[in-house]
Amino acid sequence: MNTLLFHCRPGFEGEVCAEISDHAARLEVPGYAKGKAGGGFTEFICQDNGDSERLMRKLRFSDLIFARQWARGSWLQLPESDRISVLLDYLIACPVCGSLWLEVLDTNDGKELSTFCKRFEGPLRKALNKSGRLVEDARKPRLQLTFKSGREVFVGLAEAGNAALWPMGIPRLKFPREAPSRSTLKLEEAWHQFIPREQWPERLSSEMTAVDLGAAPGGWTWQLVKRQMSVIAVDNGPMDESLMDSGLVEHLQADGFQFKPRHPVDWMVCDIVEKPARNAALLETWIGEGRCREAVVNLKLPMKQRYVEVQRLLARIAEGLKARGVKVSIACKQLYHDREEVTCHLRRL
């Protein structure tokens, strides 16, 4: 149980290695990180037993930028048949679990394995219930089994309140056919990621106003309008006509970096493809000057040193706002719908 397993977007294993090594060093938990490029996962091997749990307790999963999911545990080899008996024997040494997730890696092999997992889950759940290893209880750790193949599984544990919201950290969001672009799912995922569901009525309410910078054709505006907000959509490009028919959108053909709202708004969202430092500065200005209360902004990633660069930008935003005496919460995540980018969320406190 001395290993922490992290799921990630394939190609970002190095970022997760850098990120977890950074946190572990800061928290004085000895160990080393490893991940194979394209494998879709990274491991952090702790020096001492019990350290993986210590690290998970000291860290908030939501503070990790590039990890989609995590669990502490170890790899277990399974036989070709009667895998359940082997798993049950192994689990005797683990605490009783409160829920069960079967997960695969976000690779082609993983996709093929998901059919096996679907078939395996029912009988396994039944056996775990019968043996008393699984009792429905959200306070108990969740058993997260990550299958690398039918013969190799990572038997992991995570606290349901301090791990991904969805198996593998992949949200099951349906693309709304009326939305003008697929980007719409990015903003919807950001809300799930950054705003607790019970706070949606208050923080995403119909009386609110929003500015969408780089709005065309309107996928993000569509999400705001769906929640009945009044939106100023800033973009030189054309907005989707049916979205404009809602009567809730004012389209301004202007430069998003120059635009200033006449009155403060509740939300600013920005999906302009620009140098990340420029978008980060824009975010700091909007929150710092009180032009908006909350913001979601995309930051494109550089080719190299992606983790270091994001950290540098976040630190610069935090310092800038501190210097202005503005208290904020800052969160940043590479969402499932993000590719070479991360999504930042800031909220004035």
Which residue numbers are catalytic? 300
Task: CB nearer to ligand SAM: give 30 or 237.
Answer: 237
Q: Answer whether 170's CB lies under 8 Å from 110's CB.
A: no
Nearer to ligand SAM, 24 or 211 (CB): 211
Strand partners, 32: 45
Binds ligand SAM by CB under 6 A, chosen from 156, 169, 218, 276: 218
Other Cβ atoms closer than 10 A to 238: 13
Tokens standing for 96?
Answer: 């009783």
The least CB distance from residue 212 to ligand SAM, in Å, is 7
Count of chain residues binding ligand SAM (CB under 6 A): 22
- When asked if residue 39 is in the footprint of ligand SAM (CB under 6 A), the reply is no
Nearest approach, Cβ of residue 299 and ligand SAM (Å): 13
Residue 30 sits in the site that holds ligand SAM (CB under 6 A): no
Q: How many CB atoms lie within 10 A of CB 74?
A: 16
Q: Are strands 142-149 and 99-104 parallel, antiparallel or unpaired?
A: parallel
Q: Is 243 in the site for ligand SAM (CB under 6 A)?
A: no
DSSP 8-state code for residue 167: G
Asked if 272 touches ligand SAM (CB under 6 A), the answer is yes
Residue nearest to ligand SAM (CB): 219
**Residue 250 is a binding residue for ligand SAM (CB under 6 A):** no
Kindly tell me which of 3 and 184 has the beta carbon lying closer to ligand SAM.
184
Name the minimum Å distance from CB 34 to ligand SAM. 35
The answer to whether residues 104 and 146 touch, using CB atoms and an 8 Å cutoff, is yes
| Closer residue to ligand SAM in complex, CB, 158/229 | 229
Kindly identify the residues of this chain, within the stretch 166-205, that bind ligand SAM according to CB under 6 A: 180-181, 183-184
Closer residue to ligand SAM in complex, CB, 24/213: 213
Q: Assess 273 for contact with ligand SAM (CB under 6 A).
A: yes
Rounded Cα–Cα distance for residues 324 and 21 (Å): 31
Per CB under 6 A, the list member of 106, 235, 294, 341 interacting with ligand SAM is 235
Which residue in 236, 242, 278, 339 binds ligand SAM (CB under 6 A)?
A: 236
76-82 contacts, C-beta under 8 A, 24 or more apart: 76/152, 76/153, 76/154, 76/155, 77/151, 77/152, 78/150, 78/151, 78/152, 78/153, 79/151, 80/150, 80/151
According to the 3-state scheme, what is the secondary structure of 91-114? HCCCCCECEEEEEECCCHHHHHHH
Q: Which secondary structure element, helix H or strand E, spans residue 311, and what is its range?
A: helix 306-323
* Residue 297 binds ligand SAM, judged by CB under 6 A: no
- Among 19, 189, 271, 341, interactor with ligand SAM by CB under 6 A: 271
**3-class DSSP assignment, residue 231:** strand
- Can you tell me the distance from the alpha carbon of 210 to that of 224, in angstroms, rounded to the nearest whole number? 8
Is 271 assigned a ligand-binding role in the annotation? yes
In the complex, the residues that contact ligand SAM under the rule CB under 6 A are: 180-181, 183-184, 213-220, 234-237, 255-257, 271-273
